[in-house]
């Protein structure tokens, strides 16, 4: 455009020099002829096809002529003024970056899609928590948009909320309950688990085929003797009204200063924390495996609870695992390769940045 503008200006300069060297009478006749030719062209063309260098020249020439002479141009005076305003605006307009959040790095998008495809039961919050453990800070909305654009399904709805009383007393409470697992040989196994309500740390107390009051009481003694520091300062034990929880079982905890609270009859939501943990054990682990016996079940639950307590992020703990972890530096792009660690034969995946 600049080359064309310089060429047009040079041609017009030569024409002005030629007009100065010609007599005034012939110059006036030439101007009349040119005006008549312009009038003929205006009748034939509804709208002239002007290029950028034409607009620049006409806008500059309009500043050299009085306003009364502007009808000589092929455009209207309003158009000339608009062209001049655009030239001034272009001179004083600086390039600027569009507003809004910067886009995600392509490597982060690929990692989000990888986590979603390799773990179809994970939701938005679960993926955000896994990314945070890798030192990548991404919002839930960004993860949702990435998955929606890829056509991946959303997370399943969250479970019911906990009662206000239990939330306030969580730091001083422990809950326990039984659940059953059917082996591949249709043999029923009973599992006793405890959960600390404030840290969400889960303890596997024992597995048996015939839970009796004496067996349950001994598992309580074993738990207290092996987890003194973790259960120190607890004041309440929350349990249901199962007959396997006998008076000697309660006495084990009351001897340490704890108070045993029994839930109402047929009210599983009153012990919602441990019920939710049992549901998580089934959905993420037990529903995908065939258990052969107590030793096999003990090995499976031990490895899964190690993952649950040490690595798996928890929503109520600001997407950190129950055992806690050192917060890595918050990154927006990957600085190294992401390695996957398989647990339970690849059923569970853990991710960490390579050293």
* 233 falls within a domain: yes
- The predicted structure's pLDDT at residue 122: 84
Of residues 149 and 17, more confidently modeled:
149
Which value, to the nearest 10 degrees, does the dihedral of the CA atoms of residues 11, 17, 22, 24 take? Answer: 100
Both 124 and 151 in a single domain? yes
Both 41 and 153 in a single domain? no
User: Cβ distance 192 to 205 under 8 Å?
Assistant: yes
pLDDT of 65 higher than 80: no
What does R_g of the chain's alpha carbons equal in angstroms? Answer: 40
Beta pairing, strands 338-343 & 348-353: antiparallel
DSSP 314: B
Q: Average per-residue pLDDT in the chain? A: 80
pLDDT of 319 higher than 90: no
Both 187 and 308 in a single domain? yes
Both 207 and 274 in a single domain? yes
Both 237 and 202 in a single domain? yes
Report the candidate in 339, 341, 347 with the shortest Cα–Cα distance to residue 300: 347
What is the C-alpha to C-alpha distance for residues 241 and 355, in angstroms, rounded to an integer? Answer: 50
| Full domain range(s) for residue 147 | 106-158+326-353
Both 230 and 295 in a single domain? yes
What is the C-alpha to C-alpha distance for residues 350 and 310, in angstroms, rounded to an integer? Answer: 11
Output helix, strand, coil percentages for the chain, rounded to the nearest 5: 50, 15, 35
Both 290 and 168 in a single domain? yes
- The predicted structure's pLDDT at residue 157: 47
The fraction of the chain above a pLDDT of 70, given in percent, is 64
In the predicted model, what is the mean pLDDT of residues 164-169? 62
Report the candidate in 316, 318, 304 with the shortest Cα–Cα distance to residue 350: 304
Both 168 and 312 in a single domain? yes
Cα–Cα distances (Å) from 263 to 242, 248, 272, in that order, read 10, 18, 10
What is the C-alpha to C-alpha distance for residues 125 and 28, in angstroms, rounded to an integer? Answer: 83
CATH of the domain at 226: 3.30.420.10
Q: Vertex 320, ends 317 and 326: CA angle to 5°?
A: 125
Both 210 and 263 in a single domain? yes
Q: Name the band, by pLDDT with cuts 50, 70 and 90, for residue 317.
A: confident
- The predicted structure's pLDDT at residue 118: 85
Of residues 112 and 7, more confidently modeled:
112
What is the C-alpha to C-alpha distance for residues 54 and 263, in angstroms, rounded to an integer? Answer: 88
């Amino acid at each position: 455009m600049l080359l064309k503008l310089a060429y047009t200006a040079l041609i017009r300069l030569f024409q002005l020099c030629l007009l100065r060297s010609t007599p005034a009478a012939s110059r006036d006749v030439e101007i009349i002829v040119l005006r008549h030719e312009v009038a003929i062209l205006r009748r034939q063309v509804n709208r002239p096809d002007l290029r950028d260098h034409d607009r620049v020249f006409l806008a500059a020439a309009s500043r050299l002529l009085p306003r009364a002479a502007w009808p000589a141009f092929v455009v209207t005076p309003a158009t000339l003024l608009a062209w001049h305003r655009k030239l001034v605006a272009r001179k004083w307009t600086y390039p600027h970056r569009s507003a809004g959040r910067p886009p995600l790095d392509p490597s982060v998008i690929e990692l989000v899609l990888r986590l979603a495809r390799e773990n179809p039961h994970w939701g938005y919050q679960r993926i955000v928590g896994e990314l945070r453990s890798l030192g990548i800070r991404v919002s839930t909305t960004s993860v949702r948009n990435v998955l929606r654009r890829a056509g991946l399904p959303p997370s399943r709805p969250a479970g019911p909320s906990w009662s206000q009383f239990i939330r306030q007393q969580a730091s001083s409470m422990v809950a326990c309950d039984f659940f059953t697992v059917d082996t591949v040989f249709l043999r029923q196994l009973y599992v006793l688990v405890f959960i600390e309500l404030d840290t969400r740390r889960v303890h596997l107390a024992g597995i048996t085929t015939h839970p009796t009051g004496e067996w349950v009481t001994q598992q309580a003694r074993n738990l207290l003797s092996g987890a003194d520091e973790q259960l120190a300062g607890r004041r309440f034990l929350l349990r249901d009204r199962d007959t396997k929880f006998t008076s000697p079982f309660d006495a084990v905890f009351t001897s340490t200063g704890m108070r045993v609270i029994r839930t109402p009859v047929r009210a599983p939501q009153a012990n919602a924390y441990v019920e939710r943990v049992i549901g998580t054990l089934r959905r993420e682990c037990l529903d995908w495996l065939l258990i052969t016996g107590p030793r096999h079940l003990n090995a499976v639950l031990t490895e899964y609870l190690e993952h649950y307590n040490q690595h798996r992020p928890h929503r109520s703990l600001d997407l950190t695992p129950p055992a806690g972890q050192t917060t890595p530096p918050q990154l927006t792009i990957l600085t190294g390769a992401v390695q996957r660690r398989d647990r339970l034969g690849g059923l569970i995946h853990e991710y960490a940045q390579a050293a």
